[in-house]
Amino acid sequence: MLRSKSDRVVITGLGVVSPLGCEPESLWQNVQAGKSGISPLRALPAAALPIHFGAEVHDFTGDIENYGPLDNQLKRAIKKNMKVMCREIEMGVAVSQKAIAHAGLTPSSGDPQRTGVLFGCDYILTRPEEYSDGAQHCRDEQGVFHIERWPVDGLPKVNPLWLLKYLPNMPNSHVAIYNDFRGPNNSLTVREASMSLAVAEAYDIILRGGADVMVVGSTGTRIHPLRTTHAVLVESLASNQADPTSMSRPFDESSDGMVLGEGAGALVLESHKHAQARGAKIWGEILGAGSAMVGPRGDRDFLEMAISLALGKALDQAGDRLPASWHVHAHGLSVAQCDASEAGAISQQLKRLGVSAPVVAGKSYYGNLGAGSGAIELVLSMLAMEHGRLFPIRNLKQLRAEAHWQPATATDSAGDAFAHIAYTGQGQAASLVIARP
């Protein structure tokens, strides 16, 4: 049975695994110092690819020490299950455990039946080596592969648990089991919009009294043998540069494509009453959420329409609770047409409200982390509010003509709230408004 509805939802814990640090403060310090997470690729044979650079997380190896402070029982449980976790799932579990510890949640903090987990992922691709032994057993003496031999000679050589390593519902499943969280549990696979949509769903669950606490995260990678190959074939990627840190250039007239990366992030959401009762530090409060899906419609810019609708809904839901001073955290993909659409949508909404707000773009520092991008960006903007200042859009020299707004500078105040934008190239868009506590 649902309890009485909550009227406020707050954020009490942050967890990150990113190309610029695996703790919130190290991420913040590196961004403040203007550092880039883009460097030569190590995890892939770059010589075989037209792209030679990406944003890898070198500090995350999957070792149990990468999961934050854990008691011995949790360490044993996670180590036991590492054999059924691919890298994306490992990162997702790690950021969740980090966020739980950061929030100060303990088994005695609340009712496990009113604590849930919601996670966003990309679709997770199997790595080719999962099938290598099986494929080898289907070759003849001349090395020719015979597919008809696969059922008898090949398939038995594949690890029978291989699928568990790649299911997108596994991050939330693992986290719930390890921590005995028995509340609402779900997973979303909406590419880069996944985190914002997961936060919005968790926000609604708490508002309607379905849970007191929700651990919400997202994890993703574009650095993967098959995922990177697919991106090379169908996505607009940045051209190689002598200085790879200049490759991601959101909203600049010279931008020529995205940079591929990997990462994950998680937040702990609580009803304000629950957080207050246990004396938790509050990092932000959710004021509004909006989403939209607009497919291609003739000559109309469907992506600009979707972004504008989602951002407008979130701002309208915030209403008069939106502070006078706030900033926009843009998706900032660094793909020319996408940047033009987003720049136009931000311009529309700021003009509609008759306000001015500085704009930042985390991807200028680390590229596109897939579903993990949104989580890292939410953490960055909350850290900006905590520290009282913003960070400029890296590599921005000539702002696009569609952008009738001011990019942030290092001396700009972060204000008392921010609006975050996330979208996919298929026209799905989501936005959140989060305020300083």
Sorted by sequence, the CB contacts under 8 Å of residue 301 that are 6+ apart come out as: 341, 344
**For 364-392, how does the pLDDT look when each residue is reduced to its tens digit (9 = 90+)?**
999 999 999 999 999 999 999 999 999 99
How many C-beta atoms lie closer than 10 Å to residue 330's C-beta?
31
Tokens of 395: 């590599």
Segments of the chain assigned to CATH 3.40.47.10: 9-125+166-435
Tokens of 324: 């006078």
Adjacency order of strands within the sheet including 9-17: 185-188, 115-121, 213-221, 262-271, 9-17, 284-293, 428-435, 417-423, 327-329, 359-360
Three-state DSSP class for residue 79:
helix
Distances in whole angstroms, Cα of residue 431 to Cα of each of 217, 289, 307, 314: 16, 6, 8, 6
Distance (Å, whole) CA 356 – CA 338:
22
Q: For residues 73-94, b (16+ Cβ closer than 10 Å) or e, as one string?
A: ebeeebeebeebbbbbbbbbbb
Q: Kindly report the CATH class assigned to 9-125+166-435.
A: alpha beta
Q: How many residues does the chain have?
A: 437
Is the dihedral angle over the CA atoms 182, 123, 292, 248 positive or is it negative? positive
Distance (Å, whole) CA 174 – CA 64:
15
Q: For the chain, give the mean pLDDT.
A: 95
**For 182-240, how does the pLDDT look when each residue is reduced to its tens digit (9 = 90+)?**
999 999 999 999 999 999 999 999 999 999 999 999 999 999 999 999 999 999 999 99
Q: Is this structure's pTM higher than 0.75? A: yes
CA dihedral 317, 323, 324, 326 (to 10 degrees): -90
Distance (Å, whole) CA 73 – CA 70:
8
Distance (Å, whole) CA 18 – CA 285:
23
Give the orientation angle of helix 336-353 with respect to helix 302-318, to 10 degrees.
40
232-239 long-range contacts, Cβ below 8 Å, gap at least 24? 232/49, 232/50, 232/51, 236/335, 236/336, 237/50, 237/51, 238/51, 238/334, 238/367
Q: For the chain, 437 residues long, give each residue's pLDDT as a single digit of tens.
A: 344 566 799 999 999 999 999 999 999 999 999 999 999 999 998 888 999 999 999 999 999 999 999 999 999 999 999 999 999 999 999 999 999 999 999 988 889 999 999 999 988 988 988 999 999 999 999 999 999 999 999 999 999 888 899 999 999 999 999 999 999 999 999 999 999 999 999 999 999 999 999 999 999 999 999 999 999 999 999 999 999 999 999 999 999 999 999 999 999 999 999 999 999 999 999 999 999 999 876 555 899 999 999 999 999 999 999 999 999 999 999 999 999 999 999 999 999 999 999 999 999 999 999 999 999 999 999 999 999 999 999 999 999 999 999 999 999 999 999 999 999 988 999 999 999 98
- 345 CA to centre of own chain: 21
